[in-house]
Amino acid sequence: MIRYGAISAILAFSIDRLSKWWFIDVYELPLKGTVEILPIFDVVMVWNRGVSFSFLSATTDFGRWALVVLNLVIVAILIYWLRSAKNTWVSGAIGIVIGGAFGNIYDRIKFGAVADFFQFHWENWYFAVFNVADSFIFVGAVLLILNSTLGTDAKAKEED
């Protein structure tokens, strides 16, 4: 199962890096500001110095490296969990969370902040700006929750 998780992590990390490279270096989003894609969806360059929704914003180098260490500890826990995964869904879900986390860790180390650029909005209501790594983390977490409530882990609990 470790192999499935590792492959998922590498794919998630690679897709995230590719998207950030394209938006920052090829499309030059930092120079363009906000670009409307749909009436409810824009791409906009935001450098997030915190974690989700800019919570725990790290404005100093100490804060930046503290978040890197915190993220690495979380990844280490996920890798430990991956070692005990019993099916491909769980190992793949853990893998994409790990890959997404490494994508954001890479940004924080290289740039000092995480590159975010997708934003949904409705009239004057703007939702958090996010990136591909955040999407992988979210999808992986949802898959893990579904597995624990509806999947093989839930069935194993019922049998006990």
pLDDT digits (tens, 9 = 90+) for 98-122: 999 999 999 999 999 999 999 999 9
State the pTM of this model. Answer: 0.89
Query: What's the pLDDT at 150?
Result: 87
Kindly indicate the confidence band of residue 153, based on its pLDDT and cuts at 50, 70 and 90: low
* Contact of 110 with 102, CB cutoff 8 Å: no
Q: What is the pLDDT of residue 1?
A: 78
Does residue 101 contact residue 78 with C-beta atoms inside 8 Å? yes
Distance CA 112, CA 73 (A): 18
29, two tokens: 């989003």
pLDDT at 63: 85
Distance CA 142, CA 125 (A): 25
CA-closest candidate to residue 95, choices 1, 6, 14: 6
pLDDT tens digits, residue range 50-80?
Answer: 765 555 566 688 888 989 999 999 999 999 9
Rounded Cα distance, 151 and 118, in Å = 31
pLDDT value of position 151: 74
Quote the CA–CA distance of 141 and 122 in Å, as a whole number. 26
Which are the catalytic amino acids? 116, 134
134 contact partners, CB below 8 Å, separation of at least 6? 52, 100, 104, 116
pLDDT grade for 49, boundaries at 50, 70 and 90: confident
Percentage of residues of the chain with pLDDT beyond 90: 78
Instruction: Give the list of residues 6+ apart from residue 121 with CB closer than 8 angstroms, or none.
Output: 40, 41, 42, 127
Mean per-residue pLDDT over the chain, rounded: 91
